[in-house]
């Protein structure tokens, strides 16, 4: 295989100059664009691949970004209803930015015993993205805080940790709940139900509270919201079980609109409603929060309040660049404004005849 010394000879530059160009530092050392292009052309023509280990020993940097996901989440991806979208988008964003990406899973047992990822112990990762929601929220927070103390350069995606310095990028949960309430109210709904898992997470609590508070503002405190909690968040039938409980609580008379704290619960709820012969949205409107692609491909596509995924990826890349430059992020809690994606699961209230 061709070496950097031979590339330099063919390009008419020194070996250090080749190294600077391959490390993206041509402008820093006043090397012309024409010289850099000549070097890159020779690299491409000869299929040159730098020795990553050797380069990391010289520079102290590997250029590797680690993405941590839960074992349960990976099992979902391998199944029929997994959401691998954010992981794929994150990988694409970092790869296009010139990084290398390594994916690693964290199990419930890893979380409980505070077993740190191999990416940390090996010293390979320069930055970590935690793209998962821990099954045990309290244990997850302890795990993240321990990881942050040992490593520091990380960001939590699509979740929040109470009273923590750990940077997180997620939807503005309060605004998402308010947006959902405003939209359903404008459609003429005046009776409401909410669905969540029994292990109601902090982010979901914020959505529920904001939803109820906004409805109280709109109705002058007259609107009642019936809340049902059921199932484990990793099971698709969580929303379905909650629907059954909601029916029990209302003596079989569903509210005209249901707000689920995420699109995963909304999907499970929809399947159960359809199984019971309840029409969506003719008899009940259904709305969730999130960016799960399957929600848009449900039997009745589900209306959601979602983040702009491109904006989220850009923000995570910006945090990575700040860490690379030795800067401290300007804040820890990044809440992105959601947008309502109207689909077929919501509609105006129909007058009873």
* For range 163-176, the mean pLDDT: 89
Q: pLDDT higher for 189 or 291?
A: 189
Whole-number percent of the chain with pLDDT over 90: 35
- What's domain 4-50's architecture? Orthogonal Bundle (1.10)
Kindly provide the b/e burial profile for residues 112-126, where b requires at least 16 CB atoms within 10 angstroms of the residue's own CB: eeeeebebbeeebbb
Q: Where are the alpha helices (DSSP H) in the chain?
A: 4-11, 15-22, 33-46, 52-59, 71-78, 85-96, 108-113, 118-121, 137-150, 173-186, 202-219, 238-249, 263-275, 293-296, 309-324
- What's domain 173-306's architecture? 3-Layer(aba) Sandwich (3.40)
**Distance in angstroms (rounded) separating the CA atoms of residues 125 and 93:** 16
Q: pLDDT higher for 50 or 135?
A: 135
- At residue 228, the pLDDT reads 94
How would you class 174 by CB atoms within 10 Å of its CB: exposed for 0-12, middle for 13-18, buried for 19 or more?
A: middle
Ranges for all domains in the chain classified under CATH 3.40.50.2300: 64-171+308-337, 173-306
Ranges for all domains in the chain classified under CATH 1.10.260.40: 4-50
Phi, psi at 162, each rounded to 5°:
-70, 135
Is residue 263 within 8 A of residue 158, CB to CB? The reply is no
Strand order in the sheet with 225-229: 225-229, 192-196, 257-260, 285-289, 303-306, 339-341
* For range 260-288, the mean pLDDT: 95
- At residue 198, the pLDDT reads 84
Kindly provide the b/e burial profile for residues 248-270, where b requires at least 16 CB atoms within 10 angstroms of the residue's own CB: eeeeeebbbbbbbbbbbbbbbbb
* For range 45-68, the mean pLDDT: 66
pTM here is 0.79
* For range 67-86, the mean pLDDT: 66
Give Cα separations from 122 to 62, 64, 115, 116, 118 (angstroms). 11, 12, 13, 10, 6
* For range 92-106, the mean pLDDT: 83
Fold category of 64-171+308-337 in CATH: Rossmann fold (3.40.50)
Mean pLDDT of the chain: 85
The answer to whether residue 16 scores a pLDDT higher than 80 is yes
Query: Is residue 281 reached through a cis peptide bond, with omega within 30 degrees of 0 on the bond before it?
Result: yes
SS3 156: strand
Out of 187-201, 298-312, 323-337, which region has the weakest mean confidence (pLDDT)? 323-337
- At residue 57, the pLDDT reads 44
**Distance in angstroms (rounded) separating the CA atoms of residues 224 and 226:** 7
**Distance in angstroms (rounded) separating the CA atoms of residues 160 and 334:** 10
């Amino acid at each position: 295989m061709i070496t950097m010394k031979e590339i330099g000879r063919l390009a008419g530059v020194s070996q250090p100059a080749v190294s600077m160009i391959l490390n993206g530092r041509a402008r820093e050392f006043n090397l012309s664009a024409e010289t850099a292009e000549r070097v890159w052309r020779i690299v491409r023509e000869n299929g040159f691949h730098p020795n990553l280990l050797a380069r990391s020993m010289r520079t102290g940097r590997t250029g590797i970004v680690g993405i941590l996901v839960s074992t349960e989440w990976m099992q979902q991806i391998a199944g029929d209803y997994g959401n691998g979208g954010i992981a794929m988008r994150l990988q694409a964003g970092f790869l296009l930015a010139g990084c290398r990406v390594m994916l690693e899973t964290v199990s419930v047992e890893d979380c409980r015993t505070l077993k740190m990822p191999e990416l940390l112990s090996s010293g390979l990762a320069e930055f970590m993205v935690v793209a998962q929601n821990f099954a045990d929220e309290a244990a997850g927070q302890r795990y993240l805080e321990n990881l942050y103390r040992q490593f520091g350069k990380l960001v939590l995606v699509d979740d929040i940790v109470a009273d923590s310095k750990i940077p997180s990028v997620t939807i503005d949960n309060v605004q998402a709940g308010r947006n959902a309430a405003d939209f359903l109210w404008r459609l003429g709904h005046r009776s409401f139900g909410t669905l969540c898992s029994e292990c109601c997470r902090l982010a979901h609590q914020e959505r529920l509270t904001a939803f109820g508070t906004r409805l109280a503002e709109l109705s002058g405190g007259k609107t009642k919201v019936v809340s049902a909690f059921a199932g484990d968040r990793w099971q698709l039938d969580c929303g379905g079980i909650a629907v059954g409980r909601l029916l029990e609580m209302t003596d079989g008379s569903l509210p005209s609109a249901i707000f689920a704290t995420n699109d995963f619960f909304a999907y499970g709820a929809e399947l159960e409603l359809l199984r019971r012969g309840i029409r969506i949205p003719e008899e009940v409107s259904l709305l969730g929060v999130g960016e799960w692609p399957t929600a848009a491909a449900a039997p009745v596509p589900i209306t959601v309040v979602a983040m702009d995924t491109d904006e989220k990826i850009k923000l995570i890349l910006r945090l990575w660049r700040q860490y690379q430059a030795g800067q401290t992020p300007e804040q820890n809690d990044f809440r992105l404004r959601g947008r309502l994606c109207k689909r077929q699961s919501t509609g105006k209230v129909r007058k009873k005849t």
